[in-house]
């Protein structure tokens, strides 16, 4: 990681996400914009009233994938700092489950990078949500991450000597 990227904040937490503090942290004097995404727990799902949610993760892999997202943002958008924080465990209605903040000199890059981060997170980061209703619980429908179709074979690599 470069020095600039070491300012990024990539975390999984079981505590309430301090979103106001995170939005302040990503801001530096050279920035003209901070775009944030606050994903929060909705009180309904597919027409049923939700009581609460539980999130779990493949934590080591999820953190690695979240860091990859931040690296991709730095390589693709004219941005400064990135924060991606996801909460695990039981969450009540209205609480923040994921918070993303991106700072940049100009707003377009901040908006675009923030959108890219949440869209990619929902497709590739191994986190799962269980929805609890008055009459039972279900694992939320999700997205199957893209995986390689075939393993790389050593024979396919050019000989080095």
Residues in the site for another protein, rule: CB under 8 A? 39, 55-58, 60-62, 64, 86, 97-98, 118, 121-130, 139-151
Burial class of residue 6 (count of CB atoms within 10 Å of its CB; 0-12, 13-18, 19+)? exposed
Cβ at position 34, least distance to another protein in Å: 20
Cβ at position 137, least distance to another protein in Å: 10
Pick 7 or 120: Cβ nearer another protein: 120
Q: Report the distance separating Cα 127 and Cα 98, nearest Å.
A: 11
Q: Report the distance separating Cα 51 and Cα 14, nearest Å.
A: 19
Cβ at position 155, least distance to another protein in Å: 13
- Dihedral angle sign, alpha carbons of residues 152, 156, 160, 161: positive
Pick 5 or 130: Cβ nearer another protein: 130
Cβ at position 29, least distance to another protein in Å: 31
Q: Report the distance separating Cα 100 and Cα 23, nearest Å.
A: 8
Which two tokens mark 13? 């937490």
Pick 61 or 78: Cβ nearer another protein: 61
Pick 79 or 85: Cβ nearer another protein: 85
């Amino acid at each position: 990681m470069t020095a600039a990227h070491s300012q990024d904040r990539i975390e999984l937490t079981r505590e309430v996400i301090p979103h106001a503090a995170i939005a302040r942290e990503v801001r530096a004097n050279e920035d003209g914009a901070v775009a944030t995404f606050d994903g929060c727990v909705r009180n309904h799902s597919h027409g049923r009233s939700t009581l609460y949610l539980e999130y779990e993760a493949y934590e080591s892999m999820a953190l690695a994938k979240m860091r990859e997202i931040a690296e991709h943002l730095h390589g693709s958008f004219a941005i400064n700092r990135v924060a991606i924080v996801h909460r695990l465990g039981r969450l009540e209605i209205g609480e923040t489950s994921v918070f993303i903040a991106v700072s940049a000199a100009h707003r377009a890059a901040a908006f675009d990078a923030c959108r890219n981060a949440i869209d990619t997170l929902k497709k590739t980061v191994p986190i799962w949500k269980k929805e609890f209703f008055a009459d039972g619980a279900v694992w939320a429908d999700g997205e199957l991450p893209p995986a390689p179709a075939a393993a790389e074979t050593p024979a396919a690599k050019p000989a080095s000597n």
